Amino acid sequence: MRDETYDLSWDDWDELQSPRPEGTEFDDVVETALSRRGFMGGVLAFGSGAAVMGAGSLMSTTSAEAATSRFAFTPIDIATDATVHVPEGYSWSRLISWGDPLFSDAPEFDHATGGDVASSDRVFGENTDGMELFNVGGRQVIAVNHEYVNTKINLPNNEDGKVASADDVLKLQNLHAVTVMEVTEGADGWSVVIDSDLNRRITANTPMTIAGPAAGHDLLKTEADPEGTTVLGTMNNCGAGKTPWGTYLTCEENFNGYFGSTDAAFELPEDYARYGVSAEGRYNYEGYDPRFDVSKNPNEPRRFGYIVEIDPSDPTSTPIKHTALGRFKHENAAAVVAADGRVVVYMGDDERGEFMYKYVSNGVYTPGGETSSLLDDGVLYVAKFDPDGSGKWIVLTPTTTGMSEAEIAIFSRVAGSKVGATTMDRPEWVAVNPVAVEGYCCLTNNKNRGLKTNAGGDETPAVGPNPREANKYGQIVRWKPAGDDHTADDFEWDLYVMAGNPNVHSDANAGSANINAGNLFNSPDGMMFDSTGLLWIQTDGDYKNEGDFAGMGNNQMLAGDPVTGVIERFMTGPYGSEVTGLTWSSDKRTMFVGIQHPAAPFPDGEGKLARSSIIAIKRDDNAMVG
Ligand code: FEO
Ligand code: CA
Ligand code: CA
Ligand code: CA
């Protein structure tokens, strides 16, 4: 949901374009699912310490644990105002906002125009999202995504924010994709190093290499790229990731919405439906840029929906789309080196009823060794959760799917359906615990759960890790691989938390027992572990603070202890914003947090355009914050 100044959220836009079929065969299994294994306990069976089951029992654990809380902050109340709040003893400052120059040849941001097209690829882009900080020879470099645009704000002089020229389209394309920027901390706090030779804007028009099993496939060839190996740009970059060898992974999510058809008679290829590519583009790129007109370039949409690797230490490097990691609405990429040295990347597909994936490299990672094939030569798996708390990663191969390697890479959703993957409640960020062998995934919400199939016609019963019909609050699932080995096929799973509102509901919608009046939130989305093993949870949900969402306030960031299950509120964002994106300075004394699409006039105040921004949060005593 957005205020009227905003475009629809992507999931609502998708649903309008292609409504899902009603479900037909669902039993009413909600109650059964919820009573199983004491999900109301909110702490999983394999967690150490407080493996507490049963409603209310965690509350006593909470007070017992209070004396040894691992949180260094005093939790804060909800907020409904126009600014950011952090705990006592902490302060925040702005690092950069949409439109701020990265180079001295770009003008200062102009609130009257939202910036001109000429400088739009020389400034910080719109809708900051996933980010990672890299140490490049002692210099600190942040790579950060620009997920999408808010046309009514980015084109403030256009009627209803509608594009009216090729220049408008180019400006929006430039405000997307990725910024790489050097940052430094001085006496006045953090700032971007203007004109740093490491600064770079990557846009929807930056040349990239296509690698992996789909590279060169007929389905990826276009008139401009008859080899099917070079593509222009990346779009709708949502969450992020970092490889063990120090490169940035940016994830293409709702790529479908940028394509449309100018020819009403053009028959859409069959494979478009599963990915939501429709005749009606969201921004009318197709009206001004033929590359996005599917009646002229029907293969172009199949060149998006991948994970892209960027080397932040080399501004002249060509980004690489790694098709082996699958094509879907990629949220983020959580990479970890398994015990035997193989690289494992966990990934979510953020759409109602889509799947969770895992990639395992065939080769092993050796520090300083050759890494160039590790994300191109490997195996893709999809998750199947059984209601008894066990689960399996099912391998996607020609044998298990009847599809070629290239087809599995290009139509990964179809491959997942063929092997009976579990339809999930919109998998958002995945995070891997650095101090225990386990992974977590935010399942943000799913109003279709139990009511409608996914776009592939797979049923979505309310059971297992997705236990609530028409799930409005979201939950976080976690899994522990068999034998403490991230490459293992088998895992155990449980729910770390089910968000809910115990002030309004007394059934499953009250949430798990680690939800209480002091930490209410909905729609967990961004999620990162810090180096100490605390879990930071960011929200993208209903911020109206009324009805089912009363007492939750603006979107926020909370900290969770994976061992005790305790969750406390650390930060609140300005009204209308989503809190998304988190990384730390090299010395861990600063955390950088993204504030996306504020509706309040943040951070410049009344009468000014609202601007997505990265803020820096520090302790006043300069102690470490992660
Ligand atoms: Fe871009 Fe699924 O959030
Ligand atoms: Ca997200
Ligand atoms: Ca979201
Ligand atoms: Ca978002």
Distance 426 CA to ligand 2 centre (A): 10
Give the Cα separation of 112 and 614 in Å (integer).
Answer: 22
Q: What is the DSSP letter of 287?
A: G
Q: Do residues 443 and 14 make contact, with C-beta atoms less than 8 angstroms apart?
A: no
Give the Cα separation of 330 and 474 in Å (integer).
Answer: 18
Q: Work out which ligand 1 atom sits closest to the CA atom of 236.
A: 1
Structure pTM? 0.94
Distance 173 CA to ligand 1 centre (A): 18
Give the Cα separation of 127 and 578 in Å (integer).
Answer: 10
Of 339, 282, 135, 102, give the one whose Cα is nearest residue 201.
Answer: 102
Distance 525 CA to ligand 2 centre (A): 5
Question: For residue 309, what pLDDT is reported?
Answer: 99
Give the Cα separation of 440 and 427 in Å (integer).
Answer: 10
Distance 540 CA to ligand 3 centre (A): 5
Q: Work out which ligand 1 atom sits closest to the CA atom of 444.
A: 2
Tell me which ligand sits closest to the C-alpha of residue 524. Answer: 3
Question: For residue 9, what pLDDT is reported?
Answer: 86
Distance 75 CA to ligand 3 centre (A): 24
Torsion angles phi and psi, residue 301, rounded to 5 = -60, -20
Q: Do residues 323 and 215 make contact, with C-beta atoms less than 8 angstroms apart?
A: yes
Tell me which ligand sits closest to the C-alpha of residue 522. Answer: 3
First to last CA, the chain: 32
Question: For residue 68, what pLDDT is reported?
Answer: 67
Tell me which ligand sits closest to the C-alpha of residue 128. Answer: 4
Please provide the DSSP assignment of 36-62 as one string.
GGGGGG-S-TTSSS----STTHHHHHH
Give the Cα separation of 570 and 181 in Å (integer).
Answer: 27
Question: For residue 15, what pLDDT is reported?
Answer: 84
Which residues keep their CB under 5 angstroms from ion ligand 3? Answer: 525, 540
| Cβ count near 91 (within 10 Å) | 11
Distance 498 CA to ligand 2 centre (A): 18
Distance 622 CA to ligand 3 centre (A): 32
Distance 618 CA to ligand 3 centre (A): 26
Which residues face 493 on adjacent strands?
479
Tell me which ligand sits closest to the C-alpha of residue 540. Answer: 3
User: 64 Cβ partners below 8 Å, 6+ apart?
Assistant: none
Average pLDDT per block of 10 residues along the chain, 626 residues long = 68 86 53 41 40 32 56 97 98 98 98 98 98 98 98 97 98 98 97 98 98 98 98 98 98 98 98 98 97 98 99 98 99 98 98 98 97 98 98 98 98 98 98 98 98 98 98 98 98 98 96 97 98 98 98 98 97 98 98 98 98 98 97
Question: For residue 32, what pLDDT is reported?
Answer: 42
Q: Work out which ligand 1 atom sits closest to the CA atom of 348.
A: 2
Distance 525 CA to ligand 3 centre (A): 5
Q: Work out which ligand 1 atom sits closest to the CA atom of 238.
A: 1
Tell me which ligand sits closest to the C-alpha of residue 2. Answer: 4
Q: Whose CA is nearest to atom 1 of ligand 1?
A: 238
Q: Work out which ligand 1 atom sits closest to the CA atom of 428.
A: 2
Distance 216 CA to ligand 4 centre (A): 32
Q: What is the DSSP letter of 280?
A: S
| Ligand 1 neighbours by CB, cut-off 6 Å | 147, 238, 253, 331, 350, 428
Torsion angles phi and psi, residue 602, rounded to 5 = -95, 145
Tell me which ligand sits closest to the C-alpha of residue 253. Answer: 1
Tell me which ligand sits closest to the C-alpha of residue 581. Answer: 2
Q: Work out which ligand 1 atom sits closest to the CA atom of 11.
A: 2
Question: For residue 340, what pLDDT is reported?
Answer: 97
Q: Work out which ligand 1 atom sits closest to the CA atom of 426.
A: 2
Distance 238 CA to ligand 4 centre (A): 7
Q: Do residues 560 and 94 make contact, with C-beta atoms less than 8 angstroms apart?
A: no
Of 284, 203, 199, 275, give the one whose Cα is nearest residue 236.
Answer: 203
Distance 129 CA to ligand 1 centre (A): 9
